Amino acid sequence: MSFEITVADFKDKFDRGQFTYGTTIPAVRDKDIEESISEALLIINSDLYPSDNDNLIGKKALLYLSAHYLELMIRQDDGGGQADFAQSSRSVGSVSESLSIPQWMQDGAYSFFIATSYGVMFLNISKPYLDGAAYCIIGGTNY
């Protein structure tokens, strides 16, 4: 099964000032949103999510994954292409902060998504569908 989102869907979801939309840089252009959606579509497995009437869960995951890619693109442009990694602790003067990131998010391919809060939301939506289920059934075979 496949699902799609549009630029209008993206702007509707993220309409509380998370991104500044416009037609000129540094504002986020429709072209930037389209690019982030196309990058997200490259890696999302649409068959992973349950099918409901409007594919709401899959669309929501795709929206957050697209926002993740858009945020990474903005950071890359602002930072001159330098990689941005998740922060585990920081301190300024006498104030320090540490973040506790679940181990499963830090392992393997998941660590890419913890660089932005949108990536973490994508993981939280997707996690129930990424884990396998095992069931024990009492019974036997007849030869």
Nearest-Å Rg of the Cα atoms of the chain is 19
Q: Considering only CA atoms, which of 47, 49, 53 is closest in space to residue 1?
A: 47
Q: Residue 71: in which H helix or E strand, if any? A: helix 56-78
Q: How far is CA 30 from CA 16, 22, 109, 112, in A?
A: 17, 8, 29, 25
Residue-wise pLDDT tens digits, 79-110 = 655 555 556 667 778 877 666 666 766 777 77
Residue 133: what pLDDT?
A: 59
Parse the chain into domains and list their residue ranges.
Answer: 7-86+105-130
Angle between helices 117-130 and 56-78 (to 10 degrees): 150
Angstrom distance (rounded) from CA 12 to CA 8 = 6
Q: Which residues contact 6 (CB under 8 A, 6 or more apart)?
A: none
Q: What is the pLDDT of residues 38-85, one digit of tens each?
A: 999 988 888 888 877 777 888 998 999 999 999 988 887 776 555 555
Strand pairing report for 89-92 and 95-98: antiparallel
